[in-house]
Structure 1
Amino acid sequence: MIDGVTDTEAAILDAALEEVLAHGIRRTTASDIARRCGIARQTLYRYWPDVQSVFAALVTRELLAVLPSGASTASDLPEFVSVLVDTADRVRRLPLVDRLRETDPELFARYVLHRLGTSQRTIHAELARQIGAAQRAGFVRQWEPSQLAAMVLLIAQSAVLSASVVAEWLPAESWRTELGRALAGYLEVPAA
């Protein structure tokens, strides 16, 4: 068991990932996941109340897996922005994100327009912590860390979810560069 996740839960999420990558969320059922996992559907329901909860757990697992590990903090703004851009780029390149963007964009709309998910709340909390540390070190402007973190999350989330839409104008390397400039400009300490 890793981080409170049993082997069975991990196997169910692995099977759900394979099904979603193959068919999308709308065409994946609890029966599909259970069959791929080699368990009874009732076993799946011992861990999650419904298939939507499985999908939510899957998306959370996949997104949180690409976050930087550890509680280290950057030593200057370029390093901090580099970590933010690298993380956003890893999310952008997740096969699950690509597949959901193609087949189930309304899922993203729900979490962008209507409610915050577990992964967004976790990312926001870590961003606020990192921003607070960067403010104490003097290389991020002063303001409420929670509010700055919310805007950084919005900027990065928008950039990640819309990257493919603007790919003809902003190829991957330019996307990284321009996201870095946007974040650095937003977070930098104003000149005296």
Structure 2
Amino acid sequence: MTPIRHNHADQDAVLDAARDCVLAVGVRRTTLTDVARRAGVSRMTLYRRWPDVRSLVGDLMTREWISVAVATMPAVVAGTPTRTRLVDGLVAGVGAFRAHPLFHKILDVDPELLLPYVLDRRGASQEALLGLITAALAEGHADGSVRKEHTDLQARALLLVVQSFTLSLRTMTDEADPRLTDAAFLEELRTLLERILTP
């Protein structure tokens, strides 16, 4: 029998279909049959790669969250300290995560899906984010713009801070008070990060 080959384009088509299903009906009401139909593949093709909807949505979240993180990290500009780039990227990342339609849908309809990654273990997207932050911290240590500390400790502490702002910010805002809007809290996050990272 010829082995099934899964190329990147096929996987992206399935993940795109899964995203559309979740945005339409939420995770609990999405089935692999729905995703297969929308992606134009057989159910068995999906079952060979993903045993259930949760594992498929896990891969979808990893793809989407890493894409957001990479897109919001500013490009390297000569003469700009790494700390500035890192802080700008983290603040922009929190804003982009909070505006992401998939994140909104999961937070509103299936928040329990996020709990294991907050309370019990790190997921693939968190590991990837730690990798991005760690690399930026190492650059900041080298150019002197970031306070020197154990890099893994710093990266994990930063992720805890931005993760808290991402997941819990709406519990603290008050759009009727201009001092307590999303934008005001993101500026406060910028101040916190600058103070944490400045040598």
Q: TM-score, normalised by structure 2?
A: 0.86
1:83 is matched with which residue: 68, 80, 89? 89
Map 1:27-42 onto structure 2 (within 5 A): 27-42=29-44
Inter-partner Cα distance in structure 1 for 2:52 and 2:40: 18
Q: Pick which of 34-43 and 163-172 moved more.
A: 163-172
Q: Which residue of structure 2 aligns with residue 146 of structure 1?
A: 152
Inter-partner Cα distance in structure 2 for 1:39 and 1:150: 39
Q: Is the 8 A contact 1:15 1:33 kept in 2?
A: yes
Q: Pick which of 81-90 and 10-19 moved more.
A: 81-90
Amino acid in the other structure paired with 2:191: R
Structure 2 residue runs of 5 or longer lacking an equivalent are 1-5
- CA RMSD in angstroms comes to 2.0
Map 1:26-105 onto structure 2 (within 5 A): 26-68=28-70, 73=76, 75-76=80-81, 77-105=83-111
Deviations 1:40-63 (A, max 9, x none): 211211332322211111000100
Q: Is the 8 A contact 2:26 2:109 kept in 1?
A: yes
Inter-partner Cα distance in structure 1 for 2:129 and 2:13: 25
Q: Is the 8 A contact 1:19 1:28 kept in 2?
A: yes
Q: Which residue of structure 1 aligns with residue 11 of structure 2?
A: 9
Q: How many residues align?
A: 186
Q: Is the 8 A contact 2:147 2:197 kept in 1?
A: yes
1:172 is matched with which residue: 161, 182, 185? 182
Q: Which residue of structure 1 aligns with residue 193 of structure 2?
A: 183
Deviations 1:132-181 (A, max 9, x none): 11011111111111110000000001100112222316322112201111
Identity value in percent:
35
Deviations 1:2-36 (A, max 9, x none): xx952221111111001111111111111121122
Q: Is the 8 A contact 1:73 1:130 kept in 2?
A: no
Q: Is the 8 A contact 2:74 2:88 kept in 1?
A: no
Inter-partner Cα distance in structure 2 for 1:107 and 1:46: 22
Structure 1 residue runs of 5 or longer lacking an equivalent are none
Q: TM-score, normalised by structure 1?
A: 0.89
